[in-house]
Every structure is written in C-alpha cells, then in structure tokens.
Structure 1
Amino acid sequence: MSRIASIVALIIAGVVSYALWAHLGRPIDIVDVPRGHLQCLSYTPATDASSPLNAKDGLFSVPDGMIENDLKILSQYTDCIRTYSMLGDQGKTMKAAADAGIKVMVGIWIGADDERNELEINRALELAHQYPQAVRAIIVGNEVLLRREMTGERLARIIASVKARTDFPVTYADIYEFWRRNPVVGETVDLVTVHVLPYWDDPHPVSIDEVQAHSRRIIEQTQTLFPGKTVQIGEIGWPSAGRTRSGGSPTLVHQARFVREFAAQAESIGVPYNLIEAIDQPWKRMPEGTVGGYWGILDKDRVLKFPLTGPVSEWPNWKLAAGFTAAVSLLAFAWALLWRKPITAPRWIGLGLVAPAVGATLWALGAQLGLIVLNNWWGWVWISWLMVLAVIGGALLIYAVAGGRNVPKPAGFDGVVSAFRNRKFDGAQLIGAYHWAVMLPAVVLALSMALDGRHRDFLQLAFWLPAAAFLLLHLQPSTRERSDQPQPEEAWVAALLLIAGPFAIDQFINLEAVVWAATCVMLSVPWLGFAIREAKRIDLAFRGRTRGAIG
C-alpha cells in the first residue's frame, strides 16, 4: 500500500505542478490598443546609477546615445513624450525628440527653491524655442501643490510669468483634489492637466474591474470644475509589480488590462492622455517601494512588457516554472526515500500536495525578490536571507508532512545565545536558531506593515513555508513546548506577531494582506503558550504592586 501510495502521490505532484502553472500562465484576452499606438508616454532618461534620486542641483548624467536610442524605440509605440525637467542631460531629450519626429510635453520642475525654479524655466524655454517643431505644451510644475511646496497663488504667478515669455500652451499638472482646492491655478493656465492614478487613491483603491469607471468619474469632475478650459490627462497608468492596496493589485495582466482598456475608450472620454510611463524606473523603488519601479510599458532593458494587441500572460514562461516545481517535487520524494523508514499512505499523499506547493512558492518568491532587490549590497543580502529561510522552511515542511517525528524541541532564546557563545550547536539549538532567524525579521516586517505599510511589500511567500513547518512540528508531541518553561523573549515576539499581523489588512478584499496576516498568526501559534504565561506573570506582578501601594 505504501508503494502504491508513493506512486499515486508522485503522479499527483506532477499533475499539480503542471496544472497550477498552466492556469497561472494562461493567456488572457484583453481589448487591443487602437492601431497598436499610445497617445503619449512619460519619459525620464535615467539609469540605476544615475537618476533624479542622486542628482545634484537637478543635474545627473546619462550614457551618450541613450536618449536617442530610447526615443527611437519609443517612436514605435507613441508620437509624444512628457518630460519633467530640462536641466543637464535631460535637456538632450528635445533635440532627440525633434530628430525622431516626436512631440514633447516640456516639463519644468518647480519647487520651493526660487533660484532653482528660475534655472529650470530659463533652460526649458530656451530649448522649447530652439526646437519649436517638437513642442506640444509646456508644463510648469508637477504636483507642487500635492507636495505642499508652495501656495496656489505663488504657483499661479510663476505660471503667468512663463506664459508671458512664450506662445506655447502652458499648463500645470496635479491630481484633481489640488485643482479643486486652488482655482486660481486653473484660471491662469491654458490647459488643465490632471493626474489620474487610481492605484494611489486613498484610503482604498478600487479593483481593476472598477477602475475604468472610477477614472472616467475623475475626468468628468475635472471637466465640470473647469467648463471653459481644455482638460488633458497628464499621468494615468497602473503598475505591474509591488504590493496590493485594498482592491488594487499590481500585476502584469492588470497593467496590460488597464492600459489597453483605457486606450481603447480614450476617444469616447474626449481628453488627450499621457501614460505613466514609458520605461520602468528602478530608482523609484527607493522612495516609493517596489511598486514605484514598475509603471513602464517597457522594462528597464527597453523590452515591451506586454503586447499592445492580442492575449497577455502573467507568467509567459510558465513551463519553466512547472518544470522547476516538478523537479523540486521529485527531489522531495527522493529525499523521503533516503530516510529508510516507513511512510504511511496518507503521508505520501500529503507529500504529493506539499512538495509542488514548496516548489511553486520558491519559484514565485524568486520572481518577487528579483523585482524587489535594490542596487546595493544590503539589498542582495536581504533577499538572499529571505530565500534561504524559505528553502529551509520548505525542507522542514516536507519533513514534517512526510514523517518528521524525530525533530528535537527547539531551544529557547537563552539556549540559542549560549550556543553562539560556545560556538557549538546541538539539534535543539540549531532548530531554535532557525526559529529566531525567521521570527525576528517577521516581527520587524509585521510591525512595519502595521505602522507604515504604504510602500512596503507583503512577503508572505518567504514566511509561510517556515510558518507551516513550525506549526506542524509543534503539533507533534516530541516537539511541543513544555508549559512549565518561561520564555519571555518568545512570548513577546508571539504577541507582537499576533497583534501586528492583522493590522496590515486595509480591506478584506486584499487577499495578499489577508494571507500575510494569516502567516503572522500561524508563526505565533507555537509560542502562544509562552505569551499567555507572560501575560499572567505581568498581571500578577501588577496586582502585587497595586496591593502593596494600597497597603
């Protein structure tokens, strides 16, 4: 029976490996972009090493020929770009656009520094008048009011001064709310340029199914607010990677769907639009989290991320993922056979389900961490640490499911510290050290997500495997904690995970947040006995002090 069960389980693992990824990688039909061409795209010439993030006085350099090559590529998909500054190498965009036959919405970066503002204005007007054939409009300031860097009245005076120096249409770009609060700006500009970025809406973004109607409402509100003005969309788009916010899930298919559905209905909306953005900007991951780096239609290597016509797949290389998952499953079965001890039929079947789950998790985690990693050594250390934790957790889970009855009870905090001091570990201390290697980053992340999670990624893929392994091993009598042992360190970590994890849930439709919260709770369960005893100890101590004070 055991042999038959092992064969059945292996077949189950193979079928699950294939079926799971075939489903995740299936082509999704989406409406085509009309003529396969987009109206306008935001463009910032930048590299990993040189970007606005490390600019000095607005200046940073880019490789020779990069801008010209970028615009040559972009001309295949659009005949317009929007820029944000003309200082330094960014100013090369004007000549390159003129040579490529591309129109430019010329950006002038405005902020609190009047001297810098004057430099920006002078340089932008100089280039605009030098290449008039490439100019569509001049945008004086980008979300200056949103950033609270100046009042509407002061901004209106700056806009008026620019209008006095040029015949090109002059506008300002911001979200609807700050146009509404500052009507003086609307009275000054020639065009009203509104940003529609549903993913960043507060407090709760809508889902991809509702987002087109939501976007149309914002546009209609802007048109109603300024009935005598021409309204255009300065930024609209959807990210392809990053954390889910309420109903807003950033995936490749969702980005493709948003862009293509909006482009298809743009003419009926009746306003020109500019998509954010042309090319992924990895440097934005620092100020905005992972999601900030993945708004581009093209990736950082200038490759189109999804076709503008035809079906789109979230995992176009899903067959590789299925092969990896099946290989992990095969390794798990081979490992189980090396134990040379009987495995019951239910445990074989459990292994047939868990092994592909481990393989799929590791593949998906690797893909996620590849998007998260920053261009520095500690970023690589961090993602390597998370991957190692997941691999060990997957091995422990496989062992727990297939018959891990001899795993020692993990040593407590004092035992782990003692092992590090003595540089000698027994089995219990090794398991205890791994517990802490998982729990410490988990509790830090849980607190961070609960207190300020707007720009942080959910990392349940890195932690659910060890969480499930800890829970299963805890339920086995040989590894269950003994209730007579006080371990305050474990107690506090368990309490913090139990409390902080669910606070990351912004709405219950956010499945990513729900799974993260469930993972935190699952991590806390093996140590909850310690937390309960610690709570009782604190309660007794408090009561004792209270009685002493009364006495």
Structure 2
Amino acid sequence: MMLGCNENPKANQQLTAADILGNPEYLAISYGGYRQNTRDIQPTILELKEDMRLLFSMGVKILRTYNLQFQQAPNLLKAISELKEEDSNFEMYVMLGVWIDCQNAWTDKAPNHNVEDFENNEAEINKAVKLAKQYPDIVKVIAVGNEAMVKWATSYYVQPGVILKWVNHLQNLKASGELSKDLWITSSDNFASWGGGGSEYHVKDLEKLVHAVDYISMHTYPMHDTHYHPVFWGVEDKDSTLTDLEKLDVVMLRAKSYAVSQYNSVFNYMISIGANKPIHIGETGWASHSNALYGNHGSRATDEYKQALYYKHMRDWTNNSNMSCFYFEAFDESWKDAKNPEGSENHFGLFTVDGKAKYALWDAVDSNVFKGLTRNGNPITKTYNGNKKALMSSVLIPSENQLITQK
C-alpha cells in the first residue's frame, strides 16, 4: 500500500537500538520533565507531550530516563505512544533507566556498599521488563543503574557484581524470548567505573560486566573537573595575546579534549580485557549557572556561552564518531538542589523551566524550529531577551578577573 504524503516511512519501521544509537539523524538527550522543586509533583501527560514536541522539533529522537520509583517514565511512554498515534511523522525512542541502590541507601543508617537493596532493585528491574514488553516500539535500551558503581556516589553505590547480576538476568530474558533479542542492555556510569579510572575499579566483575553488556554507556563531565582537577582549565601563557572570545574558544576546546581523553581511557581498558563493544556517551553536560564551586567565585566555568560551546563540541565529536550522546540535559530541573536555587545542579538544561531557550538554542529560535510550540503555555523565546551583549556581561575568562566585553 502506498504511504500517504504526510507519513514517515522510518516511523513505521521497527528500528532497533543498533539502528539508532550512533546515528546522527537520531540525536539523544537526557530527560527529566519535573517542573517544580519537588518530584512529589509529577509532570502530566499533557506536559510530557509538550516537551516531546519541543525535543522532536530540534531533532532529538532518543530519550534517557533514570528510574521507575515515580510515575514519570511510565507516563512518558504513554505520552510518546499517544503522540505516535496522533502523528505518523512523530518518532521517539527511550533508554529506560533502572535505579540501583546498596543496602541502607538514602537512610540514616550507614550504607552497606557490599550488599544491594534487593527488594527495591528487583522492583525496578521488574517494572522495566514490564514496560519494555508493553512498549517494544519505544523502549530500545534498558540501563541498569545510574552512576551506581562510582565510589564517590557514597549514598548508594554498589559493587560491579550487583550490576552484572541484573544485566545477566535481562540478557537471559532476551535469550529465552521473554524480551526482544534486539533490546540492548547496558549500565550508565562514570568513565572511572568503566575502567578508565584508578586500579581500584579494575576487578573481575567489571571485566565480566563489560563483556555482558551490549554497549558501554559512559559519563564524562569536564565541567566538574574544572574545580577538582583543573589540569586543563584556564588561560595559558601562550594564549595571553588572544582576544577574550578566542581565549574562551581555546579553553572550551580543551574541555572537549579532556572528555575525549576519558573516552580513550575507557576504550583502552576495554581492549585490554579482550572486549570490543560500542561506547556511547550516556551523560555529559555543562551548567549555565552556579553560585559555588563552578561559578564566578570558583572555577568560572558556568555560563550560557561556555555551555553553548560545549554542547556544539560534544555534538560535533560524537556525530562525527558515530556515537550517541545523551546530552545532560533537556530542561532545567529545580528539584535537584531545591534548597539552593542557584546551585549548578539546577541549571544543566538547554531550556529553562519556563521554556526559555538558552544560548545554545538561540539559532534554533531564529530558524523558527519552535514556532507554535510552548512550555507551561509559554512560547519559546530566548534567554536575556536575545541580547547577546547582556549575556556576555556575565561571562568570565577562567583564571582572569576581567569580564568579557562584547566587541
């Protein structure tokens, strides 16, 4: 039968994770739709649809979620399913996150990192399996744990053997036919947890895990390391004669190179243990504001201009390398640091909570990509009222005191 002129042939195909991951026509992003300073208030189906239309309009077709303790992820899948029924051109796929905790995580008791919270972890896994079977046309990846092995996650991290157990469980469900053989299974974690860090991570269970997953979902955050490990951050003597904007270009290219070096460290470890799996960027991002370590009283890393440069560099690098980049994140979420509204965790979004497009998306606004679309009922407009001079007045050069002036 001939397709109607408004129908999208790709949207009617059963694409797999292998088809979409690493495909630059299917941009990926990390998504949380929470619009209040608490997750007790869940986004509605209509709000989720509003967000999906915005992301799809800018070429995003793969989302990453984080947990199933709340109703957001199931509601998101329902919203996507309804949008697909309403519009045959609409495409959106999901990397479904499963939250994994150790025993006593998030309690007043000391976390036991050698024992998992079996009851809650099993419930998360079972929910993921149910949703993957209910929405096989949307759920293309299940990620077991989010930064669940990295040792600085002191509230909840587990040993690699826990992640390995649940990954093997899901792989066995694929082998038995209960889950689609095309569903990819991974864990999404810091580069160090995937062998790119110190030798304390190089344990047998990690080796087994690398061989067990369908691909490695790796996190890299140069922005955080501008404060903790400023080996790449700042204006070097040889760059002192550059203009202010040229200096920023140099430091942000250095940030990109730092991210690439962390990817290389994971790749080299993987090869050293005889594995050869795809590596995709499960998270990377750059906050646009911080009142502490990364802001103008700290490493001077956070503003919308630097965020835009980093976003462009990450998209260019991963698209050209046939990798997916689940950029963190689509929208600001104020619940992340509710007691400190100016904290960096609240400001990683490419959009503000009320739907203003940050500098990284100003060109998209100019191109009418968001025409007729809204968030919270607000049309999509630029931050700073589109005044670049006003934006640049808040931007500092790392290791220098002067404000950047827009020439």
User: What TM-score, normalized to structure 1?
Assistant: 0.48
Cα distance, 1:214 vs structure 2: 1.2
1:183 alignment counterpart: 207
1:220 alignment counterpart: 264
SS at match of 1:285: coil
Tell me if the contact between 1:43 and 1:277 (Cα under 8 Å) persists in the aligned partners.
yes
2:112 alignment counterpart: none
1:109 and 2:99 aligned: yes
1:337 alignment counterpart: none
1:170 and 2:185 aligned: yes
The change in CA–CA distance for 1:319 and 1:134 in structure 2 (over 3 A counts) is closer
The change in CA–CA distance for 1:37 and 1:294 in structure 2 (over 3 A counts) is farther
1:39 alignment counterpart: 27
Cα distance, 1:120 vs structure 2: 1.1
2:137 alignment counterpart: 133
1:68 alignment counterpart: 49
Cα distance, 1:203 vs structure 2: 2.5
1:79 and 1:66 map into 2 onto residues whose CA distance is: 18
1:237 alignment counterpart: 285
SS at match of 1:300: coil
Tell me if the contact between 1:41 and 1:276 (Cα under 8 Å) persists in the aligned partners.
yes
The one-letter code of the counterpart of 2:136 is P
1:159 alignment counterpart: 167
1:268 and 1:229 map into 2 onto residues whose CA distance is: 18
**Which one of the candidate residues 191, 195, 198 is aligned to 2:222?**
198
2:279 and 2:68 map into 1 onto residues whose CA distance is: 24
1 or 2, which has the higher strand percentage?
2
2:212 and 2:339 map into 1 onto residues whose CA distance is: 32
The change in CA–CA distance for 1:309 and 1:281 in structure 2 (over 3 A counts) is closer
The change in CA–CA distance for 1:273 and 1:64 in structure 2 (over 3 A counts) is closer
Tell me if the contact between 2:332 and 2:350 (Cα under 8 Å) persists in the aligned partners.
yes
1:319 and 1:230 map into 2 onto residues whose CA distance is: 39
The one of the two structures with greater contact order (alpha-carbon pairs below 8 A, sep at least 6) is 2
Tell me if the contact between 1:199 and 1:248 (Cα under 8 Å) persists in the aligned partners.
no
1:327 alignment counterpart: none
1:75 and 1:250 map into 2 onto residues whose CA distance is: 27
1:295 and 2:361 aligned: no
2:162 and 2:288 map into 1 onto residues whose CA distance is: 37
Cα distance, 1:318 vs structure 2: 4.8
Tell me if the contact between 1:260 and 1:308 (Cα under 8 Å) persists in the aligned partners.
no
1:126 and 1:292 map into 2 onto residues whose CA distance is: 31
The one-letter code of the counterpart of 1:176 is F
The one-letter code of the counterpart of 2:356 is V
1:216 and 1:189 map into 2 onto residues whose CA distance is: 22
1:280 and 2:346 aligned: no
Tell me if the contact between 1:80 and 1:103 (Cα under 8 Å) persists in the aligned partners.
yes
Q: Structure 1 residues 92-101 or 214-223, which shifts more? A: 92-101
Unaligned runs of 5+ in 1: 1-35, 323-360, 369-457, 459-507, 516-551
Cα distance, 1:65 vs structure 2: 1.7
Tell me if the contact between 2:329 and 2:349 (Cα under 8 Å) persists in the aligned partners.
yes
Tell me if the contact between 1:234 and 1:273 (Cα under 8 Å) persists in the aligned partners.
yes
Q: Structure 1 residues 90-99 or 284-293, which shifts more? A: 284-293
Cα distance, 1:277 vs structure 2: 0.4
Unaligned runs of 5+ in 2: 1-23, 85-89, 103-116, 174-178, 196-200, 234-250, 367-381
2:307 and 2:26 map into 1 onto residues whose CA distance is: 14
2:34 and 2:334 map into 1 onto residues whose CA distance is: 9
Cα distance, 1:244 vs structure 2: 5.5
1:378 alignment counterpart: none
Cα distance, 1:293 vs structure 2: 0.7
1:80 and 2:62 aligned: yes
1 or 2, which has the higher helix percentage?
1
Cα distance, 1:287 vs structure 2: 7.5
**Which one of the candidate residues 310, 313, 317 is aligned to 1:261?**
313
Across the two proteins, how many residue pairs are aligned to each other? 293
The change in CA–CA distance for 1:211 and 1:49 in structure 2 (over 3 A counts) is closer
The change in CA–CA distance for 1:248 and 1:272 in structure 2 (over 3 A counts) is farther
The one-letter code of the counterpart of 2:216 is V
User: What TM-score, normalized to structure 2?
Assistant: 0.64
Cα distance, 1:95 vs structure 2: 2.2
Cα distance, 1:47 vs structure 2: 2.4
Cα distance, 1:509 vs structure 2: 4.7
The one-letter code of the counterpart of 1:95 is K
2:346 and 2:304 map into 1 onto residues whose CA distance is: 13
